[in-house]
Amino acid sequence: MTLSGAEIRSKFVSFFKDKKGHLHLPSSSLIPDNPTLLLTSAGMVQFVPIFLGNAKPTSPPRAVTVQKCARAGGKDSDIENIGRTTRHHSFFEMLGNFSFGDYFKKEIIPWSWEFVTEDLGLDKERLIVTIFEGDADVPADEEAFKLWHDVVGVPKERIFRMSKKDNFWGPPGPTGPCGP
């Protein structure tokens, strides 16, 4: 199955809005209401006040967005690859689904598999998944391993343990919301 970017965006929003009860919110401005950021670089930027406990969650406490993002540097930047590869860009749209204390790995891992295999039609036998391998500061994500293997049914040999550099989200600076 060949899908355009517009079709993928539409399927993503429909999956989370219609099948999983998320509130569909519009993209926030590329110029964020955040004095620590020059540009909106990720889908979660508009939700930072909620993640930090400084604002009330949406109702329902789950959202789906297609966020316009711009990146021009920063932590772990690969800006030098823009224009040199077909996958590095300074502007892109980030598809995001967000839970504000409503659900966690037990729900999103099977949902993610459902979306990519059923809605997008990707071949289950050609997919691999990664989990955080752990380090001195944060333990390995055994919960995710068990969910991918025991609930979703991904064979152990297709679940790869990766380092913090490759499989740990944020923070973009010295502090902030983050996790494997």
Q: Which of 150, 148, 144 is nearest to 168 (CA)?
A: 144
Q: What is d(CA 126, CA 154) in angstroms, rounded to the nearest whole number?
A: 11
Q: Which range is least confidently modeled, 40-44, 96-100, 139-143, 147-151?
A: 40-44
Q: Which of 61, 75, 69, 28 is nearest to 176 (CA)?
A: 75
Residue 74: predicted pLDDT: 64
56 assigned to some structural domain: yes
- Which of 68, 103, 138 is a domain's end point? 103
The total domain count for the chain is: 2
Range of the domain at 128: 104-168
Residue 97: predicted pLDDT: 97
pLDDT bucket at 64, cuts 50 / 70 / 90: very high
Same structural domain for residues 119 and 99? Answer: no
**Could you give the C-alpha distances from 127 to 66, 98, 122, 130, 179, in angstroms and in order?**
24, 23, 8, 10, 23
- Read off the pLDDT of each residue in 6-16 and give the average, rounded to a whole number: 98
Tell me which range, 4-18, 49-63, 78-92, is most confidently predicted by mean pLDDT.
4-18
pLDDT bucket at 138, cuts 50 / 70 / 90: confident
Same structural domain for residues 9 and 97? Answer: yes
Residue 1: predicted pLDDT: 76
176 assigned to some structural domain: no
CATH number at residue 82: 3.30.930.10
**Alpha carbon 146 to chain centroid distance?**
20
For the entire predicted model, the pTM comes to: 0.88
- Read off the pLDDT of each residue in 63-86 and give the average, rounded to a whole number: 81
Q: Which range is least confidently modeled, 31-45, 71-85, 123-137, 153-167?
A: 71-85
**Whether pLDDT at 130 is above 70:** yes
